[in-house]
């Protein structure tokens, strides 16, 4: 029963992954075509693309900072637990 559940879950993730890939390919192609055709929205599209990349960069930095804070918290909790054990 568990194996069937895992296989269903993997099948669902596979479908979602394919959907994301297709969506990304369509959006990328469409954006490229519009940028190459010198649309009136070129400047706005380029600004949005720049914002997307900046948000990705900030997301990575924020995840890194969150990880560091979580590690600090874990270290503090472990040190407090060790101090209580020695008392």
**Where along the chain do its domains lie?**
1-39, 41-87
Residue 87: band (very low, low, confident or very high) from pLDDT cuts 50, 70, 90: low
pLDDT in tens, 17-57: 999 999 999 999 999 998 899 888 899 999 999 998 899 88
- What's the Cα-to-Cα distance from 81 to each of 68, 70, 86, rounded to whole Å? 20, 16, 9
Long-range contacts, stretch 3-11, CB < 8 angstroms, 24+ apart: none
Q: So what's the pLDDT on residue 38?
A: 86
pLDDT in tens, 49-70: 999 889 988 988 898 998 999 8
**Is the pTM for the entire model greater than 0.75?**
no
């Amino acid at each position: 029963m568990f194996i069937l559940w895992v296989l269903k879950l993997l099948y669902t993730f596979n479908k979602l992954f394919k959907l994301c890939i297709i969506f990304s390919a369509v959006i990328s192609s469409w954006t490229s075509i519009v940028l190459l055709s010198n649309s009136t929205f070129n400047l706005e599209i380029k600004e949005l693309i720049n914002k997307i990349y900046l948000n990705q960069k900030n997301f990575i930095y924020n995840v890194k900072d969150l990880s560091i804070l979580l590690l600090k918290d874990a270290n503090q909790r472990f040190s407090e637990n060790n101090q209580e054990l020695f008392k």
